[in-house]
Amino acid sequence: MNWTRWSMIGKVVLGVWMAGVLVAAFLVEKPDLGQVGRIYFFHIPVAWVTVLSFLLSSLYGIRYLVKRQRLDDHRAANAATLGIVFCLLATVTGAIFARVTWGAFWNWDPRETTIFFLLLFYAAYFALRAAVADEERRATLAAAYNILGLVVVPLLVFVAPRMAELAGLHPNELLIGGQGGMSPPVRRVFLAALAGFTGVFVWVLDLANRTARLGEALADDEEA
Amino acid sequence: MSEVTALYIVMAVALAIWLGLFAYLWALDRKVRRLEREIRREQAGHE
Amino acid sequence: MSELRAWLAAAGAVCAKDLRAEFRTRYALSAIGLFAITTLTVISFALGPFGLEQDLLAALLWVVLFFAAMAGLARVFVREEEAGTAPALRLAAPPGAVYLGKYLFNLALLLMLEVLIVPLFVVMMGLQVGSLGLFALVLLLGNLGLAGATTIIAAMVSQASARGALFTVLSFPLLLPLLISAIEGTRSTLAQSAAAGIWPSLQVLGAYAVAMVTVSLMLFPLVWTE
């Protein structure tokens, strides 16, 4: 059986898996945080995916700078596109959760600060891409900006808790700090959701990249 | 409306959204697979 | 060793050329100077009567500096593109030296701006500095990082369209950790605060400056060459 067959089966499995996750997310016992805690089955995987996208986009960018293959730049842009979509989802779900749990949509706690940075970064990344006409320059500058972003992230992570201290919101850190406080069934659903969302991300990114490759193949055919 | 009923409703909505999304992704995937097959055949024909 | 010296000399020459050109026209300095003074006046006028908290003043200082930087620091490469001297510069000096020269120029610009603005800010807004030495140190480290980030972005933006807005859009996310730490650090140097809390901010500011300049030196050849 070839790869295509295997991937088709895998995608069907993913479909069923995610359906299962969705059912379980709402039917599993009430989490410690209350019914609103169910948001975590969606908010954290989605936030994780946006971070993953950021890393992938940077890697594709670096690979472009090394190998100079246009396809890598397309891949970087695709990853960034998915990244910003998931970042918006993460920000919104996080804000909803924050409003219900702590009364305010936005608090500048460490996680919120880093997700906000990511949102700004993605917006800036696409603004840069839009402003450069030449393909090669665009790819080079986009990859360079991506690397700059990558360098800044560790510093931001170091700095973010200070912002929370300033805002005076310690309880946040306890809750967001980890998955501490999940009973085994809840944790199982959470991990399954994590895997499921990652799978969906990989599938969609793969689709976009395959489409890009088709585009390149057609362009090459025209030239030949 | 009881809490349980609300949960069922949200779950049903989420499920419906996912199934719709999955169907769309599957259709896209099929189109891309077809194009890939075509291009592979053309490139094999050239050689 | 002499290679390094030649390289440094080239960087110095680039910086000196820019400084000479700047003093002839005083374009950039006027732009950011007037911008900063205007902003400061507006803030003082609008918020003066409210007796602002010192913490807030520390943040405002960096807001003014940030916007002044956005107004003036992109010029360092845009001017070369507009005047058509960029290709000549590419031939005249190695990329790293060009970057260093431009970086030092931006740094000088910032320092000159602050010599003007900071005393003005202290007087007009009533900022009470506790430890003058540490206050200056935070400013210096902040400038090193600010110039570091803005110079490489200025290079990236110089060949794009919508340069001014793009420069700000690209700079802000990268400058976020710098601004946060600079404000925090400045707050620690105020008369009312314990200076001990300053150390983490200094660490971040220092790390930021080092990281930015290093990465910029590595990326600049890619950004600069056509």
Q: Could you please report the per-residue DSSP string of chain A?
A: --HHHHHHHHHHHHHHHHHHHHHHHHHSPPPTT-GGGGGHHHHHHHHHHHHHHHHHHHHHHHHHHHH--HHHHHHHHHHHHHHHHHHHHHHHHHHHHHHHHHS-S----HHHHHHHHHHHHHHHHHHHHHH--SHHHHHHHHHHHHHHHHHHHHHHHHHHHHHHHHHT-HHHHHHHT-STT--HHHHHHHHHHHHHHHHHHHHHHHHHHHHHHHHHHHHHHHH-
Q: Which of A18-22, A77-81, A107-111 has the lowest mean pLDDT?
A: A107-111
Can you tell me the distance from the alpha carbon of A143 to that of A136, in angstroms, rounded to the nearest whole number? 11
Chains that touch A (3 or more CB pairs under 8 A): B, C
pLDDT tens by residue, C33-61: 888 899 889 988 888 777 788 888 889 99
Chain B residues inside the 8 Å CB shell of A218: 39
Query: What one-character DSSP code corresponds to residue C226?
Result: -
d(CA A193, CA A112): 21
Q: What is the ipTM of this complex?
A: 0.90
User: For residue C23, how far is the Cα from the chain centroid?
Assistant: 18
Query: Dihedral of the CA atoms A45, A50, A52, A58 (nearest 10)?
Result: 180
Closest CA to A42 of A188, A193, A186: A193
Separation between Cα atoms, residue C167 and residue C86, nearest integer Å = 19
**Segment C99-107 mean pLDDT:** 92
pLDDT attached to residue C44: 87
Give the tens place of pLDDT for each residue, B9-19. Answer: 999 999 999 99
Q: What percent of chain B has pLDDT over 70?
A: 98
Q: Which residue of B has its CA nearest to A209?
A: B32
Crossing angle of helices C27-47/C95-125, nearest 10°? 30
pLDDT at position A165 is: 65
Beta bridge partners of C129: C190
- Please state the separation of Cα A57 from the chain's center in Å: 11
Q: Flag if A152 and C223 touch (Cβ within 8 Å).
A: no
Give the nearest partner residue to A151 out of C157, C161, C215, using CB atoms: C215
Give the pLDDT mean for A53-72: 95
**3-state SS of chain C: helix, strand, coil percent to 5?**
85, 0, 10
pLDDT of res. A179 = 47
Q: How far, in Å, CA of C88 to CA of C73, rounded? A: 21
Judged by 3 or more CB pairs under 8 A, whether A touches B is yes
Mean of per-residue pLDDT scores for chain A:
88
Per-residue confidence band for C62, with pLDDT thresholds at 50, 70 and 90: very high
Tell whether the model's pLDDT for residue A224 goes beyond 70: no
In this predicted structure, what is the pLDDT of residue A8?
Answer: 93
* pLDDT above 70 (res A164): no
Instruction: For residues A86-100, give the mean pLDDT.
Output: 92
Nearest residue, CB atoms, B18 vs list A11, A22, A211? A22
Separation between Cα atoms, residue A84 and residue A67, nearest integer Å:
26
pLDDT band at A173 (very low <50, low <70, confident <90, very high): very low
Q: Which residue has the higher pLDDT, A58 or A108?
A: A58
C156 contacts in A (CB within 8 Å)?
Answer: 128, 141, 144-145
Are the C-beta atoms of residues A119 and A84 closer than 8 Å to each other?
A: yes
Asked if B33 reaches chain A (Cβ–Cβ under 8 Å), the answer is: yes
B24 and chain A in contact, CB less than 8 A: no
- Is the pLDDT at C173 greater than 60? The verdict is yes
Confidence band for C131, pLDDT divided at 50, 70 and 90: confident
Query: Which sign does the torsion angle of CA C9, C10, C12, C17 carry?
Result: positive
Residue A176, pLDDT above cutoff 80: no
pLDDT > 70: what percent of chain A? 91
Mean of pLDDT over chain C: 88
The CA distance from A162 to the nearest CA of chain B, in Å, is 37
pLDDT tier at C194 (50, 70, 90 boundaries)?
low
Using a CB-CB cut-off of 8 Å, the residues of chain A touching C181 are: 159, 162
Q: Residue C38 and residue C15: Cα distance in Å, rounded?
A: 28
User: For residue C149, what pLDDT band results from cuts at 50, 70 and 90?
Assistant: very high
pLDDT over 90 at A73, yes or no: yes
Is a pLDDT exceeding 60 seen at residue A178? no
Q: Does residue C145 register a pLDDT over 50?
A: yes
Closest alpha carbon within chain C to A138: C160
* A contacts of C169 (beta carbons < 8 Å): 123-124, 127
Secondary structure class of C125 (helix, strand, coil)? helix
What's residue C4's pLDDT? 85
* Min distance A50 CA to chain C CA atoms (Å): 16
Residue C21 identity: A
What pLDDT score was predicted for residue C49? 76
CA–CA distance, A170 with A92 (Å, rounded to integer): 21
Q: Which of C161, C151, C162, C67 is nearest to C117 (CA)?
A: C67
Closest CA to C157 of C167, C168, C147: C167
Q: How many domains does chain C have?
A: 1
Q: What is the 3-state secondary structure (H, E, C) of A55-119?
A: HHHHHHHHHHHHHCCHHHHHHHHHHHHHHHHHHHHHHHHHHHHHHHHHCCCCCCCHHHHHHHHHH
Domain boundaries, given as residue ranges, for chain A: 36-223
Tell me the mean pLDDT in the region C158-184: 90
Q: What is the DSSP string of C86-111?
A: HHHHHHHS-HHHHHHHHHHHHHHHHH
A54 chain-C contacts, CB cut-off 8 A = none
| Helices and strands counted in chain C (H then E) | 9, 0
Q: What is the pLDDT of residue A174?
A: 44
C190 beta partners: C129
Does residue B32 or residue C164 have the better pLDDT?
A: B32
Looking at residues A202-216, what average pLDDT do you find? 94
What would the mean pLDDT of A74-81 be, rounded to a whole number? 96
In this complex, whether C and B touch, counting 3 or more CB pairs under 8 angstroms, is: no
- Residue C200, classified by CB atoms within 10 Å of its CB into exposed (0-12), middle (13-18) or buried (19+), is middle
Cβ-based contacts under 8 A for chains A and C: 79
- Provide CB contacts within 8 A for C209, sequence distance 6+: C141, C144, C145, C148
**pLDDT value of position B45:** 81
Asked if the Cβ–Cβ distance from A25 to B14 is below 8 Å, we say yes
Percentage of chain A beyond pLDDT 90 is 63
Interface of A with B in 16-75 (CB under 8 A): 18-19, 22-23, 25-27, 35
pLDDT-derived band of residue B21, with 50, 70 and 90 as boundaries?
A: very high
Q: For residue A151, is pLDDT > 90?
A: yes
pLDDT at A166: 62
Tokens, residue A55: 């890393």
pLDDT at A87 over 80: yes
pLDDT over 90 percentage in chain C: 40
pLDDT of residue B23: 96
- Written as one letter, the residue type at A40 is Y
Domain that holds residue C206: 2-224
Give the residue among A12, A50, A49 at the shortest CA–CA distance from A149: A50
Which are the contacts of C70, defined by CB distance < 8 A and separation ≥ 6? C167, C168, C171
The better pLDDT of the pair A24, C29 is held by A24
Separation between Cα atoms, residue A130 and residue A155, nearest integer Å: 28
Q: In this structure, is the dihedral angle defined by the CA atoms of residues A11, A16, A19 and A24, taken in order, positive or negative? A: negative
More confident residue, B11 or C127: B11
pLDDT range class, residue C30, cuts 50, 70, 90:
confident
User: Which residues of A lie closer than 8 Å to C, measured between beta carbons?
Assistant: 65, 117, 120-121, 123-124, 127-128, 131-133, 137, 140-141, 144-145, 147-149, 151-152, 155-156, 158-159, 162-163, 166
The answer to whether B27 faces chain A, any CB pair under 8 Å, is: no
Between CA A171 and CA A168 the distance in angstroms is 9
Which of B11, B18, B29 is opposite residue A18, by nearest beta carbon?
B18
Task: Write down the pLDDT at residue A69.
Answer: 93
- List subunits contacting chain C, requiring 3 or more Cβ pairs under 8 Å: A
Q: What whole-number percentage of chain C has pLDDT above 70?
A: 97
Q: Report the interhelical angle of B3-46 vs A3-27 (nearest 10°).
A: 170
C218 → chain A, closest CA residue: A144
Question: Across the interface, do A159 and C177 touch by the CB < 8 Å criterion?
Answer: yes
